[in-house]
Amino acid sequence: MKTITLDAAVQEKVNGWLSGNYDEATKSEIKQLVENGETTKLTDAFYKDLSFGTGGLRGIMGAGSNRVNKYTLGMATQGLSNYLINTYPGKQIKVAIAHDSRNNSKEFAQQTAEVFSANDIYVYFFEGLRPTPELSFAIRELGCHAGVMLTASHNPKEYNGYKAYGRDGGQLVAPHDKNVMAEVKKIKSIDDIRFKKRERNIEIIGQEIDDKFLDAVAAVSISKEAIKRQKDLKIVFSPIHGTGGVSVPPALKKYGFENVILVEEQMKPDGNFPTVVYPNPEEQEALSLSLKKAKEVDADLVMATDPDADRVGIAVKDNKGDFILLNGNQAACLLIHYVLTAWEKAGKLTGDQYVVKTVVTSYMIDKIAASKNVDCYNTLTGFKYIGEIMTQLEGKKTFIAGGEESYGYLVGEHARDKDAVVSCTMLAEMTAYYKDQNSSLYEALINLYLEYGYYKEKLIAITKKGKSGAEEIQAMMDGYRKNPPATLGGSKVLTIKDYKISTAINTADGEKTKIDLPSSNVLQFFTEDGSIVSARPSGTEPKIKFYCSVNDKLSSKEDFDKISAQLDEKLTLILQDLGA
């Protein structure tokens, strides 16, 4: 073998994996990296342990403590098992498990089920791939104490992951996520993982839960008469080789839509995602085949879901007849405005309803909610925090809808996570509703701008891979804290919110006020002209993200292009000021 120099802690971990009871394939992979002198890859694979971020455990598949493999997921499952046993002593603990179409997801799901079963935990195991929101629904429906979804959401094909859920059907939040990780850290050897399954503790589930889930999605529908009149609405849909193909078409059919045109090239589940660069509906490239099909059939609406069907990207026709992509903020504003307006017209808004969004999602939603006298809660980034508020307010107030700028939305209380299935049905219903009024989603969006102001957002993500990248990202955040910008885009910064220390700072007099949210490595800058800029390292990818929001009054439709160009210029100046 080549002589290589590694950090002492990394070398110790490498040695432990080479000498421990790991299978030969794992050891061979590590030996090959050593043989080839791959010090950077070895460091990245072993310099830390995988930990829960905004979306659970997520990482590149391969050998190593910082990689997704049977051992890191086995330790997570054993740690979760120990936590559940300690939390619910003397009870028959039940969990539900589902997986998406990613490479190894099925095998990882089966192994997860086996470890739970070996710990005498009863497992409801989906017979095939299912969307994340159905797993969230199943946990509540079956009275489970926890659940696991094997997925890496919209990440590249090299990734996989493990989303852990609590008994409320929401992803684990503090202190539960930290308590589970504490249990994982107590496991000093893979020999402590109970891999030997007990068949009697595993029950296969499928169609019965599918039907109940689809019934719950259908129960959210509001404009049934409009759908009847617009049942031939041309809807192009793609699951981008993921789980959306299992649930979205039958859900649309259940709503009454009869003209759903599928992108056949992307209907087959495939973890290599052969027709796209990334299976991310936030990217235009991922919707290229859908847009091509839409132009061929002159579609009214285009929708594409990510591999685990919790996010959806959409495209609509503008006033020139060209298809344009709506971003997550625009779709969330349209969806929440539509549902609130429908509830208002039906006389159902009694003051006991609420909506939820994240702090980096468009503040137009706050204005929409205020205009309807509906409370709008803001949470940290991650839909698990939206689910947490839903659980806290269950039985006290009624959740109507929630959303985040990263293309995740939920309408109705059937789940505690973002749901692209119900989002697709409600987006289709909303399109039918406006078409029934000789309007379109694009025109509805312009009307929102006329009423509430033109809010324009831009997300910039800078990728910094590996250990060195993580250090660079931290240095950038430290720099913004030590030397915060005085102005952004030519406008004075009035308030700085540092969620890491849960403090808002008035830049004029230095007055500090407490932010009533958990600690998180996020900075926000609020300027005199109403612009908001957020800086946040991603919890699931090696990136630092900058969320920029600017707004201005839109007096007429004729001014749209002019105001849009002015806002684009302001966004450019803000990002230059940040050095992003």
d(CA 556, CA 24): 68
Amino acid, single-letter form, for residue 80: L
**In this structure, how many other beta carbons lie within 10 angstroms of the beta carbon of residue 478?**
10
* CA 516 to chain CA centroid, nearest Å: 23
438: left (phi over 0), alpha (psi -120 to 50) or beta: left
Rounded Cα distance between 435 and 120, Å, is 54
Determine the Cα–Cα distance for residues 185 and 317; give it in Å rounded to an integer: 52
How many angstroms separate the most distant Cα atoms in the chain? 75
Which position among 81, 117, 153, 406 bears the catalytic label? Answer: 153
Structure tokens given for 579: 């050095």
- List beta partners, residue 289: none
The pair of three-digit structure tokens given for residue 57, joined into one six-digit string: 């455990």
Query: Is 220 within 8 Å of 246 (Cβ atoms)?
Result: no
Identify whether the C-beta of residue 126 lies closer than 8 Å to the C-beta of residue 304: no
Kindly give the pairing relationship between strand 235-238 and strand 375-379.
unpaired
Collapsing DSSP states into helix, strand and coil, what is residue 377?
strand
Alpha-carbon distance values, 499 to 179, 356, 392, 547 (Å): 22, 18, 21, 15
Catalytic residue list contains 221: no
Bridge partners (DSSP) of residue 454 are: 552
Tokens coding 232: 């031939």
Parallel, antiparallel or unpaired: strands 523-527 and 491-498:
antiparallel
- Contact residues for 3 (Cβ-Cβ < 8 A; gap 6+): none
> Cis peptide before 156, with omega less than 30 degrees from 0?
no
323-326 vs 312-317, strand pairing mode = antiparallel
Q: What is the 3-state secondary structure (H, E, C) of 169-214?
A: CCECCCCHHHHHHHHHHHCCCHHHCCCCCCHHHEEEECHHHHHHHH
Cα–Cα distance measured from residue 179 to residue 319, given in angstroms and rounded to the nearest whole number: 53
Q: Catalytic positions, please?
A: 153
